[in-house]
C-alpha cells in the first residue's frame, strides 16, 4: 500500500486522500500551457504553488505569480482580495493595479511589510486562513530591500532555519486548505532541494525576445508533493516537462498574436511592470498598505 502520512487512525492511503483533494475547485491560471504542467490541469483552490526563480526575483517568476493571482481573484465569487507579503520592500504595487480591473470590480490589493521572520510567517498564515482572500503572494526570507536577490546566507540556510520554514510551509498548507485561499511563493532555485508542501513547483526562466511590454518565459515542472498528471488537457504540450509562454505586461494576460522581434526588456520584474506613468493607472481597483485582519462574516 502506498502511504502518504499519518492520520488519527494511523497510516493514510495516498489514493483515498487524492480522491478527496481532487474534489476541490480547480481554476484556470489564464495560461493554457501553464495549466498543462499543473497536476489538476489548473490551480486548485486551497493549495500552495512554488515559483522557483534562478537568481534575481525580477527574472519573471514574481511577475507571472502576480498575474496568475490577479486572474484567480477576478474568477472568485467572494474571495477577491490579494495579499502581498513583501518583507524586502521590493514590490511596487502600482505596477499590477491595471491587472486588477476597473474601480468597482470589488478586487483589492493589500500589502503587508513585516520586519522579522516571525511576523512574516504570521502574516502569510493569517492571510491564508482568511476566507476573504483569494491569493497570498510572498517571497519568504528575501530580506535584502530593493535588491530582488536572496542573500547567499539565506540560500545556504543552516538545518534549524530550514526546519523552521518547513514547519511554516506545512502550517500554510493547512491554512490554505481550510479557507480555500491559494498561496504563491517565489523562492530561489536552490529551494528545489528542500522538502515542500506545495502542490506543484514551477521553475521560471526568462527568455530573450518579445516586445517592450512582453515577457517571454520558460516554465518547467520542478516537483511538488502531488503526482504529475499522466495526461494533459492541452494536447500540443502533453507529456512535456516544460513550456513557453508570453506574458503581456499591460494586461497581465497571455500575449496572443504579437510578433517577437524587439530587444528584450530588462529584467526589472513587477517593480516597473507595465505602468509608464501615474496617469496610466486611472481609477483602478483599490490598494491598501496595512496590517491584515480577517473577521468571520
Task: Say which residues have a Cβ less than 8 Å from residue 283's Cβ, sequence separation at least 6.
Answer: 102, 103
Mean pLDDT of the chain: 74
pLDDT of residue 114: 94
Instruction: Please choose, from the candidates 48, 36, 29, 195, the residue with its C-alpha nearest in 3D space to the C-alpha of residue 127.
Output: 48
Most confident of 16-30, 51-65, 80-94, 254-268: 80-94
Asked if 130 and 295 touch (Cβ cutoff 8 Å), the reply is: no
The domain limits of the chain are 26-289
pLDDT of residue 7: 34
Instruction: Please choose, from the candidates 121, 40, 98, the residue with its C-alpha nearest in 3D space to the C-alpha of residue 253.
Output: 98
Which one is predicted more confidently, 231 or 206? 206
pLDDT of residue 103: 63
Architecture of domain 26-289: 3-Layer(aba) Sandwich (3.40)
Cell triple for 240: 512535456
Amino acid at each position: 500500500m502506498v502511504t502518504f502520512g499519518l492520520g488519527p487512525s494511523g497510516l493514510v492511503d495516498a489514493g483515498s486522500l487524492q480522491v478527496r483533494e481532487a474534489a476541490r475547485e480547480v481554476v484556470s491560471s489564464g495560461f493554457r500551457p501553464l495549466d498543462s504542467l499543473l497536476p489538476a490541469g489548473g490551480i486548485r483552490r486551497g493549495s500552495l504553488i512554488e515559483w522557483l526563480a534562478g537568481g534575481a526575483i525580477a527574472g519573471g517568476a514574481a511577475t507571472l505569480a502576480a498575474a496568475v493571482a490577479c486572474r484567480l481573484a477576478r474568477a472568485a465569487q467572494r474571495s477577491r482580495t490579494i495579499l502581498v507579503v513583501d518583507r524586502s520592500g521590493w514590490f511596487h504595487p502600482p505596477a499590477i493595479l491595471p491587472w486588477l480591473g476597473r474601480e468597482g470590480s470589488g478586487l483589492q490589493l493589500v500589502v503587508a511589510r513585516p520586519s522579522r521572520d516571525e511576523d512574516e510567517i504570521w502574516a502569510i498564515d493569517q492571510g491564508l486562513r482568511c476566507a476573504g482572500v483569494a491569493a497570498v503572494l510572498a517571497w519568504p526570507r528575501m530580506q535584502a530591500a530593493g535588491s530582488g536577490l536572496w542573500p547567499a546566507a539565506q540560500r545556504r540556510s543552516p538545518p534549524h532555519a530550514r526546519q523552521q520554514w518547513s514547519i511554516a510551509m506545512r502550517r500554510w498548507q493547512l491554512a490554505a486548505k481550510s479557507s480555500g485561499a491559494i498561496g504563491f511563493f517565489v523562492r530561489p532555485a536552490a529551494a528545489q532541494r528542500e522538502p515542500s508542501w506545495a502542490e506543484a513547483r514551477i521553475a521560471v526562466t526568462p527568455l530573450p525576445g518579445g516586445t517592450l511590454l512582453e515577457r517571454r518565459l520558460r516554465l518547467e515542472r520542478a516537483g511538488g508533493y502531488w503526482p504529475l498528471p499522466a495526461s494533459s488537457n492541452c494536447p500540443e504540450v502533453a507529456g512535456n516537462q516544460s513550456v513557453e509562454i508570453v506574458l503581456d505586461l499591460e494586461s497581465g494576460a497571455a500575449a496572443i498574436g504579437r510578433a517577437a522581434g524587439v530587444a528584450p526588456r530588462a529584467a526589472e520584474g513587477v517593480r516597473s511592470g507595465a505602468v509608464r506613468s501615474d496617469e496610466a493607472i486611472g481609477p483602478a481597483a483599490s490598494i491598501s498598505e496595512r496590517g491584515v485582519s480577517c473577521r468571520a462574516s
